[in-house]
Amino acid sequence: MDVQKILSAVACVFVFAACSQKSAETVFPENGALDSSACRGQALENKFIVQWEDGSFTTETAANAEEFKENFIKPQLENIKHVDYDRVIQLQRSSEVSATAFTDSWGQQRIGAPTVWSQGVYGQGVKVAVVDAYVDVSHPQLLPRIAVNTDEIPNNGIDDDKNGIVDDYYGAAFVSQPGNNQTPSSHGSHVAGIIAADSRYGSIEGVAPQAQIIPAQFIANDGGGSLGDAVLAMQYSASRGAKIINASWGGAPCVASLRNAFVELEKKGILVVVAAGNDGRDVDVYPEFPASFNMANQITVAAASVSDFMTSWSNSGFSLVHVAAPGERILSTVPGGSTAYMEGTSMAAPFVSGAAALVWSAKPTATAVQVKEAILKSVDVSSGHEFKVNTRGRINVEKALQYIQQLVP
């Protein structure tokens, strides 16, 4: 170490407070790595994600970053932990397959769900948040499974429970950029049906048919959304008592706030199930977020085919993708009281969310890490059918139930 470096280090020791002092620049490092030229194109230059010192998040607007620093950050600097530009985020592209059927539960059967149901385990008592696109809460197979906010009076235009959201009786929407498409996306309803469709009222068998769904929309009908809206939707889901959050979407490599949000969910003991993505690439080499975070409370999911092989279009990774689950030709609920086939890792993730709800309902005292362990340690690995994921296998909820019963007294 040369003399100049030594003197600089000594100076910093003696004036530690000054060297480490919080400033608008340290909480909002917009010129740092997260704001490279690659990230700039995704930034919303007049919208900002604010994480407060208590761990909560808000989104704020200003004409530009300089105005935001002067008029918002500096006056409240003591209470602000981190600030990012809000950024564009995109729904995982899922193909809608042009095929019709009244009932098709190959995925539920493949993972052993009927055997778990026969033991009286249906996901009862577990809330699963669908942080996604629109969920049709009027669908006959979804309506009985919606986690109703009984502290709210529906459609009276008043925030009855004082949580900052008006009329969130059936869930809430955090769509700041609605776009021009008026046709509801099928994605959120399809995901919700895979998790918990009530088979008493139609042909779809949800993996956890007595779990409760919390709809938390942040994606517009055109498939676009913002990172800040996603963070708010996850925060809302946690406040409503979600044990599991299903995230069938991907973002950009500019994700400090999103990772911080995942850390807050981890502190709350919430399991987050994430779609690996549909680009046919190795996320260990080409990271996709949030799929590549690899948090202790996260399961990242690849897609298995009807023939129980890795699909050609599923993202993979021996390190960062944990398990495979059915993701090809999946029949589930869509808006308007109907059903449709779709495929993608967006469909594989809710199979894992539903499986986690079954496991958790059998052992309510289990932690998110224990539920994750039970699912990862109980996969089916068949010779010649190994998946390019960390466990090499596809989920088996029957075996996961046996595992959790041994793991948790």
- Give Cβ neighbours of residue 197 (< 8 Å, ≥ 6 apart): 141, 142, 145, 204, 205, 206, 209, 332, 333
Reported in sequence order, the residue ranges of 133-219 that DSSP labels E, i.e. its strands, are 172-173, 212-217
Q: Which pLDDT tens digit goes with each residue over 108-161? A: 999 999 999 999 999 999 999 999 999 999 999 999 999 999 999 999 999 999
Could you tell me which of 330, 380, 350 has the C-alpha nearest to residue 209?
350
- Give Cβ neighbours of residue 375 (< 8 Å, ≥ 6 apart): 299, 323, 352, 355, 356, 359, 395, 397, 400
Tell me, yes or no, if 187 is annotated catalytic: yes
Q: What is the DSSP string of 97-153?
A: E----S---HHHHHTTHHHHHTTT-S-TT-EEEEEES---TTSTTTGGGB---TTS-
Q: Which pLDDT tens digit goes with each residue over 318-362? A: 999 999 999 999 999 999 999 999 999 999 999 999 999 999 999
Ordered domains of the chain (ranges, CATH): 41-90 (no CATH), 95-407 (3.40.50.200)
Tell me, yes or no, if 314 is annotated catalytic: no
| Model pLDDT, residue 21 | 85
Q: Are strands 224-226 and 249-250 parallel, antiparallel or unpaired?
A: unpaired
| Model pLDDT, residue 38 | 47
Tell me, yes or no, if 84 is annotated catalytic: no
Q: Which pLDDT tens digit goes with each residue over 246-260? A: 999 987 556 688 999
Q: Which residues of 18-36 are buried (b: 16+ CB within 10 A; e: fewer)?
A: eeeeeebeebbebeeebbe
3 state DSSP class of 240: coil
Instruction: Answer for the pair 127, 356: CB distance below 8 angstroms, yes or no.
Output: no
Checking if the pLDDT of 264 tops 50, the result is yes
Tokens of 59: 């989104």
**pTM for this predicted structure:** 0.91
- Give Cβ neighbours of residue 135 (< 8 Å, ≥ 6 apart): 142, 171, 188, 189, 191, 192, 213, 215, 217
Among 94, 237, 346, 378, the active-site one is 346
Among 104, 132, 198, 229, the active-site one is 132
| Model pLDDT, residue 95 | 61
Region 181-188 average pLDDT: 91
